[in-house]
């Protein structure tokens, strides 16, 4: 809930001193999710893929095949909604063609999105 409220910049009538009482700040909630999911991924790697000789490839393939279909569906619905409402689809504020290609590749591969969005966010 904290992340959703952070993305919509608060809920009208619920803000006290610039934040909603009893909710963690959205950035802190995301960081907590990363910590918890990191421990969980380490557990999965250790328990499920321990017999594969520490080869991470089966883990990454299974993870991609589990995440990609829903990610692609939600991305397509988001792009179609943006196109219908605004007449354009703007994913990032890309500076040049290379930035656009890197953004597209990171979205297709589901890897490197954090690096790309963090580096482009500092140049906006």
3-state secondary structure 1-69: CHHHHHHCCCCCCCCECCECCCCCCHHHHHHHHHHHHHHHHHHHHHHHCHHHCCCCHHHHHHHHHHHHH
3-class secondary structure, 107: helix
- What pLDDT does residue 69 have? 93
- Residue-wise pLDDT for 31-88, tens only, equals 888 899 989 988 888 888 777 677 778 888 988 999 999 998 988 898 888 888 888 8
Give domain status of residue 66, yes or no: no
Cβ contacts of 100 within 8 Å, gap of 6 or more: 94
Give domain status of residue 103, yes or no: no
Query: Is residue 23 over pLDDT 60?
Result: yes
Give domain status of residue 16, yes or no: yes
Give domain status of residue 41, yes or no: yes
Give the Cα separation of 115 and 111 in Å (integer).
9
Residue 65 near residue 59, CB atoms below 8 Å: no
Instruction: Give the number of domains in the chain.
Output: 1
Query: Domain residues for 39?
Result: 1-48
pTM of the model: 0.59
Give domain status of residue 34, yes or no: yes
Give domain status of residue 119, yes or no: no
Give domain status of residue 81, yes or no: no
3-class secondary structure, 96: coil
Q: Please, where are the H alpha helices in 87-96?
A: none
Give domain status of residue 12, yes or no: yes
Least confident of 7-11, 27-31, 98-102: 7-11
6-32: average pLDDT: 68
Query: Is residue 21 over pLDDT 70?
Result: no
Give the Cα separation of 27 and 6 in Å (integer).
8
């Amino acid at each position: 809930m904290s992340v959703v409220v952070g993305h919509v910049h608060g809920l009208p009538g619920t803000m006290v001193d610039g934040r909603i009482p009893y909710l963690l700040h959205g950035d802190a909630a995301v960081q907590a999710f990363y910590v918890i999911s990191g421990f969980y991924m380490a557990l999965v790697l250790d328990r499920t893929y321990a017999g594969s000789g520490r080869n991470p490839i089966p883990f990454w393939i299974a993870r991609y095949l589990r995440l990609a279909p829903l990610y692609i569906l939600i991305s397509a619905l988001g792009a179609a909604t943006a196109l219908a409402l605004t007449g354009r689809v703007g994913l990032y504020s890309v500076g040049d063609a290379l930035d656009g290609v890197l953004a597209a590749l990171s979205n297709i591969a589901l890897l490197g999105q954090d690096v790309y969005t963090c580096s482009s966010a500092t140049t906006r």
